[in-house]
């Protein structure tokens, strides 16, 4: 026991880990020789008197110290074997604890990053929506109460249903429809929104990703197009494969891609944390259209 504690808690930390190799070798040899002597003394002068009938001869302590061949042949190897087992078990459990600690820290870090990324999205959405409601209230529009009702439903989803890594696709679709209806209150008939669904199964997807993409389409499409803006949304889910395609008309799609790189970067970070390599986010600007395709494979 003394030899095991010496190696695990003194020799390795103080000599091996500090790279004092010559001193560590000398200390190791001296210490284990002394442990062998101590072990032999305990056998001869403590244990044997209990089992042998006196009178009998005993080695003196001086003889035990000088009989290095017997110590190296019988006692020191046994001590080394027990020390090796103890140290191996100790470092195995320490390694497992360290792995568990690292996993817990990584999980905590991911959760903090996800909350941070969501926090970057939600205030932006609220700012735009409240400005819309304010504009309607200034002119006493009858659409004001409807917009407040839609906002209430959206906030209920964002605040109370998006705390986990995943939400049901059907819940996210309802969120998108409420958002679109709320945004359409700002425009006349010049805005055209097409929403197509082909859902075979109600899978789980990362929350608020689709809302961010739709919000970008309104911001850089309908919000900057004084003509006849169009937004086309297509959602499909079959087996464990999900696809979301959104296309909006813009004045200059390549300029929009440059301006919105921060928003798309945040979306990619959130998808990286949740989906790893099981997703594709493709951005295709053309002359007057901007298309974003998101694919998630949960197989």
- What are 12-40's pLDDT values in tens digits? 888 888 888 888 889 989 988 898 988 88
Peptide bond into 130 cis (omega under 30): no
Q: Which of 68, 100, 117 is the last residue of a domain?
A: 117
Residue 126 sits in the same domain as residue 99: no
Q: Which of 68, 88, 117 is the last residue of a domain?
A: 117
pTM over 0.75: no
Q: Percent of the chain beyond pLDDT 90?
A: 17
Instruction: State the pLDDT at residue 104.
Output: 74
Please check the confidence at residue 222 and state whether its pLDDT lies above 70: no
State the alpha helices, DSSP H only, in the chain: 2-6, 21-41, 48-51, 61-66, 68-70, 76-138, 144-160, 169-184, 209-217, 253-259, 261-275
Q: What single-letter DSSP state applies at residue 15? A: I
Instruction: State the pLDDT at residue 256.
Output: 56
- Number of folded domains in the chain? 2
Mean pLDDT over 159-171 rounds to 83
Residue 247 sits in the same domain as residue 169: yes
Instruction: State the pLDDT at residue 182.
Output: 82
Residue 234 sits in the same domain as residue 146: yes
What are the structure tokens assigned to 220, written together?
A: 């850089």
Max mean pLDDT among 4-8, 51-55, 57-61, 104-108 falls in 4-8
Confidence of residue 111 (pLDDT cuts 50, 70, 90): low
Residue 231 sits in the same domain as residue 253: yes
Residue 90 sits in the same domain as residue 138: no
Instruction: State the pLDDT at residue 231.
Output: 92
Q: Which domain holds residue 183?
A: 121-297
């Amino acid at each position: 026991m003394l030899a095991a504690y010496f190696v695990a808690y003194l020799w390795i930390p103080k000599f091996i880990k500090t790279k004092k190799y010559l001193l560590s070798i000398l200390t190791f040899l001296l210490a284990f020789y002394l442990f062998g002597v101590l072990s032999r003394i305990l056998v001869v002068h403590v244990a044997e008197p209990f089992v042998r009938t006196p009178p009998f001869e005993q080695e003196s302590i001086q003889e035990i110290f000088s009989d290095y061949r017997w110590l190296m042949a019988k006692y020191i190897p046994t001590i080394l074997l027990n020390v090796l087992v103890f140290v191996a078990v100790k470092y195995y459990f320490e390694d497992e604890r360290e792995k568990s600690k690292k996993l817990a820290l990584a999980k905590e870090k991911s959760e903090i990053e996800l909350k941070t990324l969501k926090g970057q999205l939600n205030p932006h959405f609220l700012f735009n929506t409240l400005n819309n409601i304010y504009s309607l209230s200034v002119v006493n529009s009858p659409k004001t109460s409807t917009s407040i009702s839609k906002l209430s439903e959206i906030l209920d989803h964002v605040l109370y249903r998006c705390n986990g890594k995943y939400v049901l696709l059907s819940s996210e679709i309802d969120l998108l429809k409420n958002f679109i209806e709320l945004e359409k209150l700002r425009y006349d008939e010049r805005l055209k929104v097409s929403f197509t669904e082909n859902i075979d199964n109600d899978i789980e997807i990362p929350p608020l990703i689709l809302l961010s993409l739709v919000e970008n389409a309104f911001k850089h499409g309908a919000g900057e197009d004084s003509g006849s803006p169009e937004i086309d949304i297509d959602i499909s889910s079959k087996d464990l494969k999900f696809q979301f395609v959104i296309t909006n008309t813009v004045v200059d799609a390549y300029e929009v891609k440059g301006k919105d790189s921060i928003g798309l970067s945040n979306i990619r970070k959130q998808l990286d944390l949740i989906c790893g390599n099981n997703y594709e986010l493709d951005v295709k600007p053309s002359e007057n259209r901007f298309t974003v395709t998101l694919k998630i494979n949960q197989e």
